[in-house]
Amino acid sequence: MVNNLVLETIKKRRSTRSYLDKQISQEDLQAILEAGIYAPSAGNQQSWHFTVIQDQAILADINKSAKLTAVNIDNEHISKMAKNEQYNIFHGAPTVIVISGKEDGLMIEADCAAATQNMLLAAESIGLGCCWVDLILFAFSGDKGDQYKKQLGIPEGYKPFHSVTLGYKKVEAINAPSRKQNVVNYIR
């Protein structure tokens, strides 16, 4: 089987939900953002925007708003998390990146997902913990959604699609759960 550093990083990456109380370096942050910028995009539009949040008061407010909106969702798992006062959608990460896309962009959801995945893999490759967190979207769909977009400098005509938490891991992730079998067809 083919093996290289990229494939090893893909197989090793796990969602981190417990972070040290220490901010990541500017150098690491820039490397992660650059990985997002180098993601593929439909028609090479690159119609994304990245918002870095390191202000813990803002993250706490967004966490609270997201949970207030999510508590009423018709999904038992999400509703249960939202009702838990101790639950933090960002898992206490010191840095969160919001990935937004131009609303009229071609295939922008896929483009933003590709940028998000690039950032997650970059974080793992330099030893940082990360987690793909879409619960933030409840904050943008709630009463304060437009206020958050303005406060965070998300450009007009752009919509948040994903977020990534970043920080130093409190604990190393365990081995990957087994992968589902029989998920590939070959037509030769």
User: What is the DSSP track for 148-173?
Assistant: HHHHTTPPTTEEEEEEEEEE-BSS--
What is the pLDDT averaged over residues 145-172?
A: 96
Domain that holds residue 76: 16-167
What is the mean pLDDT of the segment spanning 138-167? 97
**What's the burial of 44, exposed, middle or buried (CB within 10 Å: 0-12/13-18/19+)?**
exposed
pLDDT recorded at residue 50: 98
> What is the arithmetic mean of pLDDT over 21-39?
98
CATH code, 142: 3.40.109.10
Does residue 33 fall inside a structural domain? yes
Question: How does pLDDT run across 67-119, given as a tens digit for each residue?
Answer: 999 998 899 999 999 999 999 999 999 999 999 999 999 999 999 999 999 99
- Give mean pLDDT, residues 145-151: 97
Within-domain flag for 64 = yes
In a domain, 24, yes or no: yes
Domain count, the chain: 1
Q: pTM here?
A: 0.94
Average pLDDT over the chain, rounded to an integer: 95
Q: Average pLDDT of 176-184?
A: 86
Say if 148 falls within a structural domain: yes
